[in-house]
Amino acid sequence: MSINATLLGQILVFAALVWFTMKFIWPQLLDAMDQRNKEIADGLEAAAQGRSELDAAQERIEKLVSDARGRASEIIDQANGRAARIVEEAREEGERERLRLVASAHSEIERETSQARDELREQVAALAIAGAEKILQREIDARAHGDMLQRFAARI
Amino acid sequence: MAAESGGGGSAAYIEHHLTNLQAGEGFWTFHIDSLFYSVLLGVLFAGSFYFAARKATAGVPGRWQSFVEMLVDFVNTQVKDAYHGPSKLVAPLALTIFCWVFLMNFMDLVPVDLLPRIGELMGIEYMKVVPSTDVNITFGLSITVFFLIIVFSIRAKGFGGFGREILFKPFGKWLVPFNVTLKVVEELAKPMSLALRLFGNLYAGELIFILIALFTLGETLSSLVTSAAVFSFVVQFVLGLAWALFHILVITLQAFIFMMLTILYLSMASEEH
């Protein structure tokens, strides 16, 4: 158990090993690890950003949907209102038409009534004249008394 | 029991297990087995990590890359917590120390006779397979760290600053010799404690594995018919298992302590006082 030249050999081997590790092992491994750490950090950051973007998009979608829903119900309200108005207008139109028809029917009836009355009156006058002719025989000149009889018939 | 059947045998067995395969004379002796396994494990570490580093992608990592990155991240965290200097050397140094020392310690969990017996069959007489049970190996590590401590100190404070620190801290200019003695002891204690702590733990651990192996020393499969032999075998198995499980903790802890203290020493060296 004596100190001898083995010591020197070991020192040389040790120095060579440390040099080799420092040159060819340590930096390469550390670089790879650092780079991977950076990539992982970047990936996590990107994921967080993506998530926040997704949240924002979700919010935007919800807003759009609720806007559209609001507008749709507005349109439906408008349409309902217009339909009601159209129905109301049609009803009014129909009422007016009915009144017009009724009025025209009334006037027709009146006209026909007065026409019938006129005819009746003429016939009555003629009947009266014929009756009077029969009663008075020749005394009544149709031409002379026609006017009078006509006026009489008009009073009936 | 094996120890009773051949007292000299067990002593020789232990002696054999604690002897390095050597080459050279005097100081210029090399422990070939320690250096061989040290280099082998160093190459295993560097090669396998280089394999991960070369193909390292920022994309989805494979299993090996994940494992390597886990270690790198672990070491990086320790270094960032303890060392605030500018050096790009400390973190790779810490990683190398942790993995290499762990692998060298791990050789302790390989059955004590497996590799030496294979070596014997190949004609290699002695083989110590755990490099960190060799003081040369642990001092090789800690002296390099010591050298780096001095370099870091000079770089952080300049020659003048470092010199003043040696001469005048902590008791001012009237007690210069005392200051110098204190500083030298303080600095030398660092590599000494680093090396001896690792060596001591692993040497003791190895020794206990060897002692546990003595239970069935000299037994063969055919001699496993007597109840005493079976009993020895069971005891060896239970003790070996318990010690191995505990040792998993020890070898990891020792690797971690060596790495952590290195970081702390270098951190202290680069701080202004």
The average pLDDT across A78-82 equals 96
Cross-chain Cβ contact A26/B89 below 8 Å = no
Between residues B173 and A99, which one has the greater pLDDT?
A: A99
The average pLDDT across B34-61 equals 91
Instruction: Tell me the C-alpha distance between B178 and B171, whole Å.
Output: 8
Give A41 to chain B, closest Cα distance, Å: 13
Cross-chain Cβ contact A5/B30 below 8 Å = yes
Instruction: Give the CA count within 13 Å in the CB-facing half-sphere of B189.
Output: 6
Query: What was the pLDDT predicted at A149?
Result: 73
Chain A residues with CB under 8 Å of B61 CB are: 32, 36
The residue assigned the tokens 């969990």 is: B109
Q: What is the pLDDT of residues B182-200, one digit of tens each?
A: 889 999 999 999 999 999 9
Instruction: Tell me the C-alpha distance between A156 and B98, whole Å.
Output: 149
Give A54 to chain B, closest Cα distance, Å: 27
CB B110 within 8 A of CB B259: no
CB B98 within 8 A of CB A25: no
Closest Cβ opposite residue B35 in set A10, A17, A32: A10
Query: What was the pLDDT predicted at B217?
Result: 76
Closest Cβ opposite residue A6 in set B73, B91, B137: B137
Instruction: Tell me the C-alpha distance between A17 and B45, whole Å.
Output: 9
Name the percent of chain B lying above pLDDT 90. Answer: 51
Query: What was the pLDDT predicted at A4?
Result: 87
Secondary structure of B185-232 in HEC code, one letter for each residue: HHHHHHHHHHHHHHHHHHHHHHHHHHHHHHHHCCCCHHHCCCHHHHHH
Cross-chain Cβ contact A14/B68 below 8 Å = no
Query: What was the pLDDT predicted at A139?
Result: 61
pLDDT for B4 beyond 50: no
The average pLDDT across A50-67 equals 96
Interface of A with B in 112-131 (CB under 8 A): none
Count interface pairs A-B at CB distance under 8 A. Answer: 125
The average pLDDT across A131-136 equals 79
The average pLDDT across B108-132 equals 88
Chain B residues with CB under 8 Å of A30 CB are: 72, 76
**B143 at A interface, C-beta within 8 A:** yes
Residues recorded for chain B: 273
**B79 at A interface, C-beta within 8 A:** no
Cross-chain Cβ contact B88/A22 below 8 Å = yes
pLDDT band per the 50, 70, 90 thresholds, residue B120: confident
pLDDT for B2 beyond 70: no
pLDDT band per the 50, 70, 90 thresholds, residue A154: confident
Query: What was the pLDDT predicted at A108?
Result: 94
The average pLDDT across B251-263 equals 95
Residues recorded for chain A: 156
Closest Cβ opposite residue B136 in set A10, A28, A39: A10
Cross-chain Cβ contact A28/B54 below 8 Å = yes
Q: What is the pLDDT of residues B54-78, one digit of tens each?
A: 888 888 888 999 999 999 999 999 9
Element (H, E) at B23: strand B22-25
**A17 at B interface, C-beta within 8 A:** yes
Instruction: Give the CA count within 13 Å in the CB-facing half-sphere of B220.
Output: 1
Q: What is the pTM of this model?
A: 0.75
ipTM of the complex: 0.87
Average pLDDT over chain B, rounded to an integer: 88
Query: What was the pLDDT predicted at B11?
Result: 84
Between residues B40 and A150, which one has the greater pLDDT?
A: B40
The residue assigned the tokens 């009803």 is: A91
Closest Cβ opposite residue A21 in set B54, B92, B141: B92
Which of A1, A4, A24, A31 would you mutate first to test chain B, the one with the most B CBs within 10 A? A4
Between residues B221 and B58, which one has the greater pLDDT?
A: B58
Residues of B identified as active-site: 193, 197, 201
Query: What was the pLDDT predicted at B232?
Result: 85
Q: Structure tokens of A62?
A: 């919800």
pLDDT for B180 beyond 80: yes
pLDDT for A137 beyond 80: no
Query: What was the pLDDT predicted at B77?
Result: 93
Chain A residues with CB under 8 Å of B94 CB are: none
pLDDT band per the 50, 70, 90 thresholds, residue A129: confident
**B216 at A interface, C-beta within 8 A:** no
